[in-house]
Structure 1
């Protein structure tokens, strides 16, 4: 089958709603299909999503399919279809699509290795992850998250969120999913040191926390919002003074950092080599201990005005780089 020199016969499939899928597929001009099935049980979701995915591929007859890993089930399914129907498979591998540390980790990592070795390309966000993919026998392509286009801001009103004007406190928007790699307990302990100057608002399902949370014991400036929909999420992002998105993973470029740059908000990040290399203006870096986070917050407060200006410069520079590298990235997939 002769393939075109562009991605006109391509689809991007994901089994969740996530900013990277939307920004990357739009950046490459690839139609995105978000296949989700609400609150169904895991088994029902897998069966229905698999059937919907197979029907989509058979109907569209693509030359190129992009699939997100996770889900490893999605990636295995599309890999099998690629061998049967002879299309090129490009897997967008997040960190857990390279190395998984949760339940059934041996099985999932075995499947990850099969996916990496047998896909045409594996997309990762940074050079370190590209080296890991190469060591596992895969063909890596590096694509940091394209900056997302954020929706127009509306005033946020959720679980008592109020931009602190009367008490003159700053607002820190903590972008959290309550995963095991997030040092949330240390962040909360550090937040208590800033009760007079910063209100901290945490997103995500805090019932997933791996430590016990007592509402009565929370610092008075820590507010748990729970799950918020996209409209409220981006409103909170636009209204805050700065954001916080921390991880203990040494090789991760966090999605919240890209969103913060797009919104023009300074961001407090974990001090890792990949993040320092990419977010080199308008960001403050810290260790993920309570003391390290406290020091990072002090640095953020000291240079907040300068960081707000610097993050805008970073946004312009990233957008310029994105324009310059798009055609080359596509040619890496399709050939000259």
Structure 2
């Protein structure tokens, strides 16, 4: 069975981590953020054409699409309707799919019922999907698997001038990230280095970047090799969101790397990642700073807890998700 997972994004760990267990190939097609409507429309048209070309060239049997980019769902359903009516369509839905503006996007939520399988990342998102009318029988909860970084030693040469300890915050500069609060907290712990990855052009408040404390280092969007080296070579990972119901991708990366986390105190993250971290209120610079100090004071203890959590969560994912995934995907295809 030929499978292709298409995501209109530059990179995301979830797909990389799932691929060995699910058997799909990957196609990443980035969409620029914070650009004009015409340019974004042209990018969507370009990506739609490239996606359809790839599906037709491979004669794909199972199409995986990452949402909330709703036009990508249209392409997948168009491919099944006109080129392979036996194809399976799997929608892997980020929590944004079920929040405005994407939840109000025309022919978005209403078309999820046309998919053979709709994946959501946790039980909170499942409830949101059902409340918006997505049929329960096509929904399946599949959390991010712990990331796998192989056995390659960490390559951190690009950052060797930055003083230790390193706390890495992989940023997308989305609305849920408490960047202002994190920078204020960093100013209160000048003996720790906060390394922030991601394209700073996506930051809605560029003055925050310009006025950041001296111990904050914006290193831009990194290649996969550089990012993997930074995550596996850092002392701790910062995983902050203002919103409950969100499973942060960086948490799976931290777990996979066996790194302690400075993590938002939400019910979802406490349930999914109970060990190996210090939970803080994301809206409180004082609490974030206090948590950073506690994390460093307990670093050895938290490292051990993080490694134990990695073993437990990896085994659980393989048992409850990974082994069942191919069967779930194959069932609609075999039933036609």
Q: CA deviation at 1:331?
A: 2.8
* Equivalent residues, number: 319
Residues 176 and 245 in structure 1, CA contact (< 8 A), matched pair in contact too: no
2:21, 2:323 within 8 Å by CA — same for their partners in 1? Answer: no
Select the residue among 56, 63, 66 that pairs with 1:65: 63
Q: 1:228 to 1:33 in 2, by over 3 A?
A: closer
- Secondary structure of the residue aligned to 1:309 is helix
Is contact 1:116-1:133 (8 Å) kept? Answer: no
Describe the superposition over 1:65-122 as per-residue Cα deviations: whole angstroms up to 9, x where unpaired. 1111132221122123333432221101112222244xxx5752x3331232322221
Alignment match, 2:98: 98
1:18 to 9, 12, 20: 12
Partners in 1 of 2:107 and 2:292 — Cα distance? 40
Counterparts of 1:245-324 in structure 2, within 5 Å, are 245-289=239-283, 290-324=285-319
TM-score, normalised to structure 2, is 0.86
Q: Secondary structure of the residue that 2:45 maps to in structure 1?
A: helix
**325-334 or 257-266, which moves further after superposition?**
325-334
> TM-score by structure 1 length?
0.86
Whether the 8 Å CA contact 1:190–1:294 is kept in 2: the answer is yes
**SS at the partner of 1:191?**
helix
CA, structure 1 residues 218+70, in 2 after alignment: closer, same or farther (shift >3 Å)? same
* Secondary structure at 1:224 match in 2: strand
> Is the aligned partner of 1:142 residue 2:141?
yes
Aligned to 1:4: none
Of the candidates 191, 194, 198, which is equivalent to residue 189 of structure 2? 194
Moved more, 326-335 or 246-255: 326-335
Checking the alignment, whether the CA contact within 8 Å between 1:174 and 1:200 is kept in structure 2 is yes
Contact 1:12/1:30, CA 8 A, preserved across alignment: yes
Determine the C-alpha separation between the residues in 2 that align with 1:118 and 1:202.
40
CA–CA distance in structure 1, aligned partners of residues 240 and 203 of structure 2: 15
- Checking the alignment, whether the CA contact within 8 Å between 1:122 and 1:133 is kept in structure 2 is no
Aligned to 1:226: 220
- CA–CA separation in structure 2 for the residues paired with 1:37 and 1:130: 26
Alignment partner for residue 332 of structure 1, among 316, 325, 328? Answer: 328
Query: In the aligned structure 2, how far is the partner of 1:9 from the partner of 1:209?
Result: 38
Higher deviation after alignment, 34-43 or 269-278:
34-43
2:156 corresponds to: 156
Partner Cα distance (1:154, 1:309) in 2: 19
Q: Which residue of 2 aligns with 1:174?
A: 169
The structural deviation recorded for 1:324 is: 1.3
Paired residue secondary structure (1:134)? helix
Distance 1:293 1:162, change over 3 A: same
Q: Tell me, which stretches of 5 or more residues in structure 2 are unaligned? A: none
CA distance in 2, matches of 1:36, 1:129: 24
DSSP 3-state at the match of 1:213: helix
Quote the offset at 1:149 in angstroms: 2.0
Q: Tell me the equivalent position of 2:198.
A: 204
